[in-house]
Amino acid sequence: MARYAMVIDLHKCVGCGACDITCKNENNVDRGIFWAHHFTRTTGVFPNVKYEHVPTMCNHCNNAACVKACPTKAMYKDDKRLTLHDPKKCIGCKSCMQACPYDVISFNSKEPHGFWRDANSVIPDGTASGKETAEKLGQKIPYYNPERATTYAGIRPKGIVEKCTFCDHRLAKGEEPYCVFSCPAGARTAGDLDNPTGQVNLLLAKYGHKQLKPHVGTEPKVYYIRYY
């Protein structure tokens, strides 16, 4: 079976955040929760200043700390070596969040998407409200993506954690993860590590790579190549 990995080319990445935004869009992710995110770093002193932007996401670690920590096997490795989460098994103990060295798992402490249940209008009868907008469309979020629900909870309910699934629902249809598809810089490449001639292995062979916190032993499968 496949062994999926992501290569992020920091030389091509312009730090635009399209991956962050479109991941939310694709996966119906609530405000305050981030499956795809980034960290930035400014170093040096004027005028010799360096700024870096590094996109982050679940590393789908080969040796996933979250999977080990989960007391109910809700967090698991699938046959493509993705780290996936079963919302029906999750008891919301947050052990996985503590265990993940990359802080990429989030907990739904509230009923999600309350923004779209807010009935307040800034001008009564003149402007809409979140609730009215969502209700008119018959959805919990106006731009709810039903395709997400084919392999995971379309919207993760209160009380459980959630995280990047490597867009397994898109992979299942032969499509790339949405952040890869949407990156305007072409900085992200998803593919199978077991395919020696695939793009992922070609890039890794050509440029070498870095991983986040390789020393913690999780064997992360998001590889960063070149420099921002």
Q: Which of 113, 188, 189, 203 binds ligand SF4 (CB under 6 A)?
A: 188
Write the binding mask 151 to 170 for other proteins: x where contact by CB under 8 A, - elsewhere. Answer: x-xxx-xxxxx---------
Q: Which of 62, 77, 145, 202 binds other proteins (CB under 8 A)?
A: 145
* Sign of the CA dihedral running 197, 199, 202, 204: negative
DSSP character string of 130-181: HHHHHHHHTSSSTT--GGGGGTS-SSPPTTSEE---TTHHHHTTT---HHHH
The interface with other proteins within residues 23-52 (CB under 8 A) comprises: 24-26, 31-32, 34, 38-40, 42, 44-47, 49-52
Distance CA 86, CA 102 (A): 20
Residue 165 interacting partner from ligand SF4, other proteins, none (CB closer than 5 to 8 Å by kind): ligand SF4
Residue 189 interacting partner from other proteins, ligand SF4, none (CB closer than 5 to 8 Å by kind): none
* Sign of the CA dihedral running 184, 171, 83, 205: negative
7, two tokens: 């290569």
Distance CA 54, CA 145 (A): 27
* Rounded alpha-carbon distances, angstroms, from residue 184 to 4, 12, 18, 175: 22, 10, 8, 17
Q: Which is nearer to ligand SF4, 66 or 155 (CB)?
A: 66
Q: Which of 218, 223, 224, 225 binds ligand SF4 (CB under 6 A)?
A: 218
**Could you list the residues that contact ligand SF4 (CB under 6 A)?**
8, 13-19, 23, 26-27, 35-36, 55, 57-61, 64-66, 83, 100, 102, 104-105, 163-167, 177-179, 183, 185, 187-188, 218
